[in-house]
Amino acid sequence: MQMNSEFRERQPIGVKNLSVALTQHGHTTWLPLVRKIKQQISTDPTLITEYPHILGIPEFTRRATQLALGKDSPAIVESRVFGIQTVGCTGAVCLGAELLRSCYCSSSSWSGPILLSSPCDDSLAGTFKAAGIEDVQYYRYWDAESNGVCVENMVHDLENAPEQCVVVLFASGHRPTGAELSQEDWKRVAEVMKRQLFAFFLMSAQGLCSGSLEQDAWPVRHCVSLGLELLCAQSFSHNFGLYGERVGHLLCVLKQNLLAVQSQAEKLVQTLWSCPPMEGARVVATVLSNPAHLVDCILISLALYTTVGKEPPLFKKITFFSCSLSAQQVDFLVQKKHIYLLPNGCLNVSAINSRNLDYVAESIHQALSSKL
């Protein structure tokens, strides 16, 4: 958000913003279907303006849960899951951290540790520490030499992690690398998670990373099928174009104490945001309730967010976020070329379009080939 503010201030001098998905004219895109549904909602006389339930709009939480787990998920069939509407994905992570601190192992305080991938989104460690979880550690994920995920290192670190720790995993769209695990790799990780490790999944752009809603959610669904307990933070900003609506969801799959954890979540929500915003969640619930709408929405999003032309080797696949840039290379691009991307090298591939492709490609080439 700070990067976007700086971009808007300096936009007249011709800077390029690669931190979010933008049109060729530098604006986020309204999906036609989303615009139509918002107009229908605004003129619906049956909708009332009273506060929603603390845990959110029931239809939204139900549909979001089904989207992540599948309608026939054993967790849904066995009634061992509940969902909470949150203020964006950040709100879902924040609420999840608070729940872990207060509820895990029926303890009033959290003893940790939290395991994050190295590298990972810069804000994650701060979010957990703000919730009172100071013991934040890291497992190896990215291998700079092979320019990809080193599964052996990742599995080794998880095998040697303390029992009852929480492992934060990107179900799809790993930030900042964009590098993904295969299903076979996920099976190995899931087997390790069986040894008293608790999974906290992040799924920020379901459907846009692989082009398939099912494939992007496969790691979460596989762990649930094995009977694992987990949390999953979902975002609907990217795949619905609802960046300013802050539509998020926290999914809780547990074997026991479900009602107790849900009650604790209600108390925490009252202190965090009281009740969530309604309009964006109503839009998402409307789309998710109609399979044809959902297919249209994802297909249009993919069309808008897919990179123009063939991707260079820097980007291993068409995914929302990718990087192979060092801190010095990022600084060169921001300071010398006025190309805005996140300090950890994370850039939104879909922000590259026909108007900026040549300039961005040449600038990145200079950053990679020059002695900085």
Q: Is the peptide bond before 113 cis (omega within 30 degrees of 0)?
A: yes
Torsion sign (Cα): 180, 289, 39, 300: positive
Between 369 and 160, the more confident residue is: 160
Q: Looking at the predicted structure, is the pLDDT value of residue 82 above 80?
A: yes
Return the structure tokens found at 95. 């609420």
Q: Looking at the predicted structure, is the pLDDT value of residue 301 above 60?
A: yes
Return the structure tokens found at 48. 């009332």
Instruction: State mean pLDDT over 239-260.
Output: 88
Q: What residues contact residue 239 under an 8 Å CB cut-off, 6+ apart?
A: 205, 206, 207, 208, 297, 298, 301
Q: Looking at the predicted structure, is the pLDDT value of residue 11 above 60?
A: no
Average pLDDT score, the chain: 81
Residue of 83, 350, 316 lying closest to 239 (CA atoms): 350
DSSP reduced 3-state for 248: strand
58-290 folds as Aspartate Aminotransferase; domain 2 (3.40.640)
Q: Looking at the predicted structure, is the pLDDT value of residue 143 above 50?
A: yes
- Show me where the domains of the chain are located: 1-30+308-369, 58-290
Distance linking the first and last C-alpha atoms of the chain: 28
Looking at 88-229, which runs of residues are DSSP E strands?
114-118, 136-140, 142-143, 148-149, 166-172, 198-203
According to DSSP, the residues that pair with 83 across neighbouring strands are 251
Q: Which helix (H) or strand (E) holds 319?
A: none
Query: Which of 41-50, 154-163, 190-199 is the least confident region?
Result: 41-50
220-225 long-range contacts (CB < 8 A, ≥24 apart) are 220/68, 220/69, 220/171, 221/68, 221/69, 221/70, 221/73, 222/183, 222/186, 222/187, 222/190, 223/190, 223/193, 223/199, 224/69, 224/73, 224/74, 224/75, 224/253, 225/73, 225/74
Q: How do residues 13-51 score in pLDDT, each as one tens digit?
A: 445 555 555 555 555 666 777 888 888 888 888 877 778
1-30+308-369 folds as Aspartate Aminotransferase, domain 1 (3.90.1150)
Report how far Cα 181 is from the mean position of its chain's Cα atoms. Answer: 16
Residue of 290, 180, 298, 319 lying closest to 239 (CA atoms): 298
